Amino acid sequence: MLRISCMVAILLGSVVPVVFAADDDPYLWLEEIDGARAMEWVKAQNDVSTRELSAVPEYSSILKRNLEILDSQERIPTPTQEGRYIFNFWQDAEHERGILRRTSLASYRTEKPDWETVLDIDALSEAEGTPWVYKGRTALPPDYRRAMISLSSGGGDAVEMREFDLVGKGFVKDGFYVPVAKQDAIWKDENTLWIASDFGEGSMSTSGYPLVVKEWKRGTPLTEARTVFTARADDVYAFPLAIETPERVYSLVIRAPEFFKADVYLQMGDKLERLPIPLDAEFQGIFKGQLLFSLRSDWTAGRRTYPQGALLAGNLDDMMKGGQEFRMLFEPSDKVSLADVAATRDRLLMSTLDNVHSRLYRMGFEGGEWTKEEIGLPGLGSVGVTSTSVDTDDFFLTYEDFLTPGSLFLVEGGQSRKLRSLPAFFDAGGMKVSQHEATSKDGTRIPYFRVTPKGFQANGKAPTLLYGYGGFEVAMDPSYSATVGASWLERGGVFVLANLRGGGEFGPRWHEAALRENRIKSFEDFIAVAEDLIATRVTSPEHLGIMGGSQGGLLVGGAFTMRPDLFKAVVCQVPLLDMKRFNKLLAGASWMAEYGNPDVPEDWEFIQTWSPYQLVKPDVDYPKVFFWTNTRDDRVHPGHARKMVARMEEMGHPVYYFENIEGGHGAGSTNRQRAEITTMQYSYLWSMLR
């Protein structure tokens, strides 16, 4: 029996969701991913949307430009250091599905590196008659000759794993092979893997992830592999992890009872011993015998309480014996949070967000003492440590901001050297970036970035695109998007990036502020930013569009159903929308720590206040929304978008819908697919907002 309560008044007034039992949902057939009826419906929707959106005057020029950008030979080939080689995975017009290639560091430093192709995914796909998507590899140190290559048919998270010889450049005959599953593996030695996979009944969680880790010896059937670890049936996942350091390789197993909580087990002799850190702490690695972890809540150890968001280090051996001596390597503040941690041979690298701008530090540990120095950055943008190696203290980093094309730096001998930069894919002349704050419903100040085009005037008429995410402790920081620049900014649009609660801009507290029963706050924050843009005459409802994907798709879905008067256009990408059934669809059960459990009446009381599929009503004037998703998305079920579209159309609301057959949880598997969906989005936005 479903309990239905009246919602609290939301801004314009009370919105009572339409709720029905799952068995009464008339669109359950659209959850049949490859069902004949469902796919016929998808094809019909695709035909209409493609025909109408490709007829928008801007379509052809935007598509041409996006293809030029995505296939450009001037893009930065992202480096990965493995032994004496720099590896890179590359896609362009000639290599649609991509090539794995390598070169020496000396060659990579040059303007035109001498690349050697290691694996051609296009050739493999043609030879095997399968549209393979490369999903990465796990190589065996220290010589990195053998690797487990992950391949997906269609781009989903489930992959087939095959052993590959990186020297011989071919798959190993009679080597390790694992059929398709959501899975992962680490090397123990050249003849042994630790693998988490689908081993049959009881080995996978309700979220579709492995619960069992096994040790598999070369030359033996996978069915005879020895069980190393078994998680509980109601856990989210269990995966093996390898931490490579100059001293040794540590083998671990991570067991997650829910999102953002994990037990980490370290192999010590023949046993797995749990690391003595809080369940909700984030394991950050092992460096020079020091265990590194960050806190998601205040933690008392010994005589001291360490604050939420801090990065701590403690002697691993002492901690395993009960020691409680720690050094706080980073202490958060209201506007400064930990972003990332990485390690070279002798240095720890730590990046932070200071009011949503990056800062980078290099730390040393000698004689029991830590040292720290800041590495200067070109501006108030975003930094990423791209690649490190345990063989050297040299490393690669990238820097970018909204108007500065990304640059790759090699930090060598303590000095930064710019190796290469993206070209200016759009003319940023006259454009301006500024940071602002909106006041949310409960009085919290919500920061956002605003990028205005040349000649901008605050007269309420500027076509404006507001982007948001607001979940899973993911920070939205400044970045250079060539496609946003060329498709939107250069053509006169305003771009706005909101830093909502639920994200990670200000650490765990910012995330926790919009969890579960407080989820409504991320929607209120987003709406507050929209209202601020209107109040300051940046734009008006007739010229304001919103965009978000995945959790961001839920965000914009909730925003337009709560406040349809605020928006003229909505791009809802690979979204969650039916929050009554999200935990029954693909990986959805793993997100209940974020959203709540809709099968628990007390949780449904608050979930129903922002579940778009239940909020949409027939007698409301909504914007003509553009929904898109992917058939092969095995993370967020395409049924969310399908059912929302079917329901809105039945109510008489016009919508656009497009479903890419490939792509997984993203914008496509090839540059052509990415360019086409990007072009459809901006053609839609211009048709609605110009």
How far apart (Å, rounded) are the C-alpha atoms in residues 118 and 145?
12
Could you give the angle at the alpha carbon of 367 between the alpha carbons of 361 and 373, nearest 5°? 15
How far apart (Å, rounded) are the C-alpha atoms in residues 477 and 381?
8
Structure tokens at 213: 């880790």
Chain-centroid distance of CA 47 in Å reads: 30
Query: Is residue 647 within 8 Å of 24, Cβ to Cβ?
Result: no
How many CB atoms within 10 Å of residue 580? 21
* Per-residue buried b or exposed e for 203-229, using 16+ beta carbons within 10 Å of the residue's own CB: bbbbbbbbbbbbbbeeeeeeeebeebb
- 665 assigned to active site: yes
How far apart (Å, rounded) are the C-alpha atoms in residues 552 and 559?
10
How far apart (Å, rounded) are the C-alpha atoms in residues 408 and 427?
21
Active-site annotation holder among 358, 407, 522, 550: 550
Residue found under tokens 């480096």: 79
Residues in Cβ contact with 402 at an 8 Å cutoff, skipping those fewer than 6 apart: 381, 433, 449, 451, 478, 479, 480, 495
> E strands within 475-531?
494-498
154: helix, strand or coil: coil
Residues in Cβ contact with 268 at an 8 Å cutoff, skipping those fewer than 6 apart: 320
How far apart (Å, rounded) are the C-alpha atoms in residues 259 and 350?
24
Residues in Cβ contact with 322 at an 8 Å cutoff, skipping those fewer than 6 apart: 276
How many CB atoms within 10 Å of residue 128? 11
How many CB atoms within 10 Å of residue 85? 20
How far apart (Å, rounded) are the C-alpha atoms in residues 115 and 99?
11
Helices (H), 536-568: 551-562
Give the DSSP letter string of 370-427. EEEEEEP-SSSSEEEEEE--TT-S-EEEEEE-SSS--EEEEEETTEEEEEEE---SS-
How far apart (Å, rounded) are the C-alpha atoms in residues 408 and 419?
6
Could you give the angle at the alpha carbon of 282 between the alpha carbons of 281 and 283, nearest 5°? 115
How far apart (Å, rounded) are the C-alpha atoms in residues 77 and 89?
8
* Per-residue buried b or exposed e for 341-377, using 16+ beta carbons within 10 Å of the residue's own CB: bbbbeebbbbbbbeebbbbbbbbebeeeeeeeeebeb
- 550 assigned to active site: yes
How far apart (Å, rounded) are the C-alpha atoms in residues 159 and 203?
17
How far apart (Å, rounded) are the C-alpha atoms in residues 253 and 264?
6
Nearest to 624 by CA among 567, 543, 548, 551: 567
Structure tokens at 60: 């052809």
400: left (phi over 0), alpha (psi -120 to 50) or beta: beta
Q: Report in angstroms the alpha-carbon separations of 645 from 15, 234, 558, 614.
A: 20, 33, 14, 13
Active-site annotation holder among 95, 543, 653, 665: 665
Residue found under tokens 């309700």: 206
Residues with a catalytic annotation lie at 550, 665
